[in-house]
Structure 1
């Protein structure tokens, strides 16, 4: 069946080949072209329309996600303004996402209200490696500092992911596709509403032979495969008219092969992630006063192995988070509302890197833990029709670094001319991660990172929203930013300067590869511009981001680009929906040059990727789809010496019942 689908897809790709535009802005076009008064987003921790949010936001609904045909969430996000990623190879390898040039750990990822991060990872942030589209119904990207509501480390922004909720008494969905490099993905979900109970269960399996994570240009030949299995579930029970309980869970297990030490190798890694949530919801005062009491738990296990070693396991790590929270919202009047809450998060990690020799005893685990208690509040006011103002404050009490108070404010003005004006200011504070403090590369003398930023934007709706154009300027300053510093090999020259004391494991004379330290200052500023045109079945859209992200600390690296952050990126797409069920699309992404290291001595060249998309509706419920990615087989790197996917063709079938 898949062979016939592939032949079907090639014919559609040939028709679409005359169109050149960007590879995946189709999700954006759908989100932007819709009526902004009707699109409800929850990344603000309260349901608001797009035109009520002061900060820049992109919302992708299920239709946009389906039309994109992407397997991984990072591929979706990469087409939105201000986003860049770096990946150490193909699917399943370490993936870092940056919003407006911020560090990967400076952005918060939320799934169904649960904030995700791995305390055992280097920056304590979230690794997008195993996050597939799966049963996701909506993705929201809120750019700029969002620390008041989502935690002090939300310096770059927030990615809010919402899985599907049942709307019928019984419903289901499935997606099956296959393609290049023996890639196969299969997903299914079922759910329903019966009286006071609503529930949904979903699962997915994904396998691919992959590419060599060590770039072919540097001699990489053998393929590094990847497999992922994940399940998700949620249930909500109404105990009374104004009281409900809900539980949610997510589990993913991945196995990825990778190359170590800049050469093909037999290394592979196992990754297991579990997310659990339980909440009690109480609405009072005719629904004007809403309360949520919740407990969330995340557990991430990562293990690396090399079967050619005497001791096969080369890395062992685990990170856990336990989080209690209360959130309240109160509608004081039609034009005044408040959100407030209390949170307590306890995180822990352990990791070690065993020697290959069985004669060397297993090292003890590096361990660490931290506790963070926070209170926050935000007030939103609509003094006149069309104008929304908000302001908030957050206080974080870290058990190691003490207290920190943060402020935020913003406003959005919707004018009768179809013009929307936005301005916002926010602050952020991030304590060093447990890994940065206590691992074999740790530094317990690190200071917290602090940031503040602002943005101002304008959006114009023309011809009954058929044409929408917008631009946003942003500026962010970060102090005490933490980076990894590599250590040179020990010198035997007696005339050589004395070695850096930080290049030894603390308290010993054992040398180490590197250590973490604070950079005095970094700055980022830039422009994000977007445009969308919808004429019947034709949609054209695109975005351009100019982001200057620099090291501003004194010394030899002053003014250098921060690593793996292209200064210029652009996306554009064209799609057309015929009235007999056929949809065609083409897209292009261009990324300017970047640098792989802090000294800017290793350059990553610019690249252009062109994709094609097609889908055909067999019925209202079932569609065939196909796509061709990187059709010109461009070779590029987002991380030095690591490979990337070449030309790829996929085809499949999806059903929504």
Structure 2
């Protein structure tokens, strides 16, 4: 308990300071182009017009983070925690506002990814090196995206070609004999734009399981990935675009004393898009896409393959301050996991209305999904924002969402075909302040989930060990505070999450989620150097649903520095976990100790 209390004290101090800083602000940042976001409504709109709780992570922030995996970037923003069974290539869960990892809908360049075996995206298989931008939407979005988005949505984008020709190459070396190589180019010529990226990473890793019953060896990994994005402007009104991403990873894990296994993971996405601007007010977008998630273990035999297909036709009508959207969507899911060879489909119609009038912003969405197995499911949402001064804005929203059971939960030996979808009801209130480059915000939320699927006692399934069942109810409630400010040439940012993710049946805290977690970061320029420092902190968690296995709280300190070293060349150096803190994200699984990384990047301008 002492660790948890000290962690909270450490968290509250920087938040209090950061929230106080705006009163000292005397200047405002120069006007900038409006930053656009698409995740909130599936339509491009200025971030300032978005009512939903959204965070944008650009490529510069990703590179400065020096992170080894996507989850390591995500855990540094408000509302997100992670759990991991060892190193960066091992099984990873992402909890958005405390919700289950399978409750976050994930898209790469608009292509949905998911596993119908485990439920949710395979975070460890997504190559961070190829990501150009990430948009994180906190809060249920079922009325826009359909099944899966009970906790939120994370959209991942690769680079799009722009005017000219822009090659790049990078290389780096770090602790655990980690080696990284990357190269690519992007550009545009006339009506044609293109982007290609290649990445390779290898690490000897560390001993992920230090308990006596497992091998005392290094659990390393290797990943190879590539992406391609092509666009062609047929004429002023019509554009075609194709995207492709592939990632192969091979990682080791212990399977007993003297026994090692390999995780072989392959993720692929393919998207084809057509956009038409019929008139100044009316536009259409047609998307056809496919993704596959193949996971295999050797020499212990296990193989599962999920294939997803999606078809979306969306129309947008912009009339003055009004935006109306109408979409037809079809999703097809298929799982091969012997002896399972099953599929299902969902057809949906979605309607949306947005209004931005002076101090008022309104967003309404309604969607009906018809599942080939469960029949119809209707979801809706309403969100409103009022800017009562140029600097202050209040928001309120409510919405419903659902997730259909995975094909594994229904048709494996532990499966029950009569399982029903998990469903949620969410309400949230927010208060936001922005002045120039400074900001502060508070968002409070409550998300209740019914028919939560858990692993229960033996029953109607084939296994005598246990069966999946709709036996639980959960509530994810809490508040997120965040602030940014620049003072004396130092850019400060901080966030604090106070949450209570709990099982409503037992009253217990949900596994591997803390009641308090947050970050504090600062960066400044000294001559040609950009220097940064960051603290990440988390309170006590429990490894199990019964709250008997305690995972202690922790605080991590990370340092970074970058500088130009020659024309078109940049040096990046980073130290993570400076104090060499020993902590666990999952019981009996080790995490990285003090880690160093040094890299160089060549990018002509």
Considering the TM-score relative to the shorter chain, is it more than 0.5?
A: yes
- The residue matched to 1:638 in structure 2 has which SS? coil
Residue 377, structure 1, aligned to residue 351, structure 2: yes
Aligned to 1:526: 478
| Structure-2 separation of matches of 1:38 and 1:208 | 40
Structure with more of its chain in strand, by fraction: 2
- The residue matched to 1:634 in structure 2 has which SS? coil
Q: 1:122 aligns with which of 105, 118, 121?
A: 118
Residue 41, structure 1, aligned to residue 37, structure 2: yes
Deviation at 1:37, TM superposition (A): 6.8
Residue 88, structure 1, aligned to residue 35, structure 2: no
Distance 1:467 1:169, change over 3 A: closer
* Alignment check: 8 A CA contact 1:33 1:532 kept: no
- The residue matched to 2:234 in structure 1 has which SS? strand
Distance 1:452 1:36, change over 3 A: farther
* Alignment check: 8 A CA contact 2:452 2:471 kept: yes
Distance 1:545 1:47, change over 3 A: same
Aligned to 2:593: 646
1:205-604 alignment, distance < 5 Å: 205-215=200-210, 221-260=216-255, 265-286=259-280, 288-306=281-299, 313-331=300-318, 333-352=319-338, 365-382=339-356, 384-462=357-435, 465-485=436-456, 500-502=458-460, 506=462, 511-512=464-465, 514-535=466-487, 537-553=489-505, 558-578=506-526, 580-604=527-551
Aligned to 1:193: 188
| Structure-1 separation of matches of 2:575 and 2:181 | 19
* Alignment check: 8 A CA contact 2:130 2:226 kept: no
| Structure-2 separation of matches of 1:145 and 1:536 | 39
Deviation at 1:441, TM superposition (A): 2.1
Distance 1:36 1:516, change over 3 A: farther
| Structure-1 separation of matches of 2:29 and 2:204 | 38
Deviation at 1:620, TM superposition (A): 6.3
Count of matched residue pairs: 580
Distance 1:643 1:179, change over 3 A: same
Aligned to 2:10: none
Residue 618, structure 1, aligned to residue 550, structure 2: no
* Alignment check: 8 A CA contact 1:21 1:587 kept: no
Taking CA–CA contacts closer than 8 Å with sequence separation of 6 or more, which of the two structures ends up with the larger relative contact order? Answer: 1
Deviation at 1:345, TM superposition (A): 1.0
- The residue matched to 1:64 in structure 2 has which SS? helix
Distance 1:278 1:157, change over 3 A: same
Deviation at 1:346, TM superposition (A): 1.0
Deviation at 1:522, TM superposition (A): 0.8
Deviation at 1:305, TM superposition (A): 1.0
Residue 100, structure 1, aligned to residue 97, structure 2: yes
RMSD between aligned alpha carbons? 2.1
Distance 1:100 1:428, change over 3 A: same
- The residue matched to 2:408 in structure 1 has which SS? helix
| Structure-2 separation of matches of 1:153 and 1:537 | 43
* Alignment check: 8 A CA contact 1:21 1:610 kept: no
Distance 1:217 1:147, change over 3 A: farther
Deviation at 1:71, TM superposition (A): 2.7
Deviation at 1:53, TM superposition (A): 1.0
* Alignment check: 8 A CA contact 1:397 1:404 kept: yes
The C-alpha deviation readout for 1:432-487, integer Å capped at 9, x for no partner, is 1111111232122212100010111111124xx243111110110000011224x6
Deviation at 1:110, TM superposition (A): 1.2
The C-alpha deviation readout for 1:486-512, integer Å capped at 9, x for no partner, is x6xxxxxxxxxxxx445xx52xxx644
> Which moves more between the two structures, 397-406 or 213-222?
213-222
1:2-41 alignment, distance < 5 Å: 38-41=34-37
* Alignment check: 8 A CA contact 2:348 2:368 kept: yes
Q: Which runs of 5+ in 1 are unaligned?
A: 1-19, 26-31, 307-312, 353-364, 488-499
- The residue matched to 1:564 in structure 2 has which SS? coil
Aligned to 2:23: none
Question: Could you tell me the TM-score, scaled by structure 2's length?
Answer: 0.92
| Structure-2 separation of matches of 1:157 and 1:501 | 32
* Alignment check: 8 A CA contact 1:420 1:459 kept: yes
Q: 2:580 aligns with which of 633, 636, 640?
A: 633
Deviation at 1:428, TM superposition (A): 0.4
Distance 1:501 1:335, change over 3 A: closer
* Alignment check: 8 A CA contact 1:51 1:414 kept: no
1:130-141 alignment, distance < 5 Å: 130-141=125-136
Question: Could you tell me the TM-score, scaled by structure 1's length?
Answer: 0.85
| Structure-2 separation of matches of 1:612 and 1:568 | 23
| Structure-2 separation of matches of 1:39 and 1:479 | 37
Distance 1:335 1:168, change over 3 A: same
* Alignment check: 8 A CA contact 1:33 1:534 kept: no
* Alignment check: 8 A CA contact 1:630 1:646 kept: yes
Deviation at 1:619, TM superposition (A): 4.6
